[in-house]
Structure 1
């Protein structure tokens, strides 16, 4: 009986240890292991939805959702964050699908910070196959139905371990100030 009571007390103490909640844009160095970066002011919510734009003959559809408690793993720690996640569909002028990440966990974009004064969100893009085109995308909320897109990839180089037959095309629009309209 005494062992059971002791076990329950230890379990209760361990279970009551709360996860540290920190606001958006907390510097990475200031985030303790297993903390939660929380969208306390609902800065991400206004970006959620389906948006479309045309660029160089292609129709781009962005499917923007909010994921709470998205696990982030770094070399020396892991933590959770509320983040926008963008999956996308790119079609050519004839309607053929060039790339569709709707049912995939690869090639997606996710938010890493916001700029409330500019009503914008900063996203990280893993790049397409072999990491080609990885970099930062900035979305700026223009009004209730439009966002502006800025994307300039950091690298289009291909590593030696990339299969020769992998599609290395970056289908996302590499441009600034492209206007997407909410559907």
Structure 2
């Protein structure tokens, strides 16, 4: 009976240790978050790749809108139902039209309310993917890609927003997404 209990304990220890593992952002990027990726409980930024994005970034788009982004690194962030944890970027933004009127301001919202969260790097570890969900009724949501046009200059960053292709049912006439869709926005670190 004692051996049977030991085998059962050993079996559960093996099962738990197989599921409870930490992998790096680098490892996840190499398997492209596909079915060949190892199962994990914690996705860790072991090489501090997210740190270069942290801070306040400003830029102006061709239509005169000014943008201020604040990216913070959140470690051990609890994901869906707190089953998986990860190191991610949280984004906040302030967008003004040329007259100075605020179009959107999320600079003071809590981490849980940013609606602008990180995901992972591409296979080459150059672009970091985030998801932004602003005014969802107008399909103002989609993926944001952060990268550095010149890897030797970490004071200038490129941001590209790619809108989701959902069907929109109610939206004011002439509505434009908060971030320019499929256009590069060059930002300078402050």
TM-score by length of 1: 0.73
Q: Residue deviations 1:40-92, cap 9 Å, x none?
A: 11111111110011111110111011011112217xx8311100111100011
Question: How far, CA to CA, are the matches of 1:78 and 1:169 in structure 2?
Answer: 36
Select which of 148, 170, 180 maps to 1:173.
Answer: 180
Question: How far, CA to CA, are the matches of 1:58 and 1:131 in structure 2?
Answer: 19
2:22 corresponds in structure 1 to 21
3-state DSSP class of the match of 2:49?
A: coil
Q: Residues 67 and 145 (structure 1 numbering): CA distance in 2 closer, same or farther, change over 3 Å?
A: same
The unaligned stretches of length 5 or more in structure 1 are 1-13
Question: How many angstroms does 1:116 deviate by?
Answer: 6.8
TM-score by length of 2: 0.71
1:155 corresponds in structure 2 to 165
Structure with the larger strand share: 1
2:9 corresponds in structure 1 to none
2:131 corresponds in structure 1 to 124
Q: Residues 153 and 43 (structure 1 numbering): CA distance in 2 closer, same or farther, change over 3 Å?
A: same
Q: Residue deviations 1:104-158, cap 9 Å, x none?
A: 3445322211137352211122342447222211111232201011112023533
3-state DSSP class of the match of 2:140?
A: coil
* Pairs aligned (count): 160
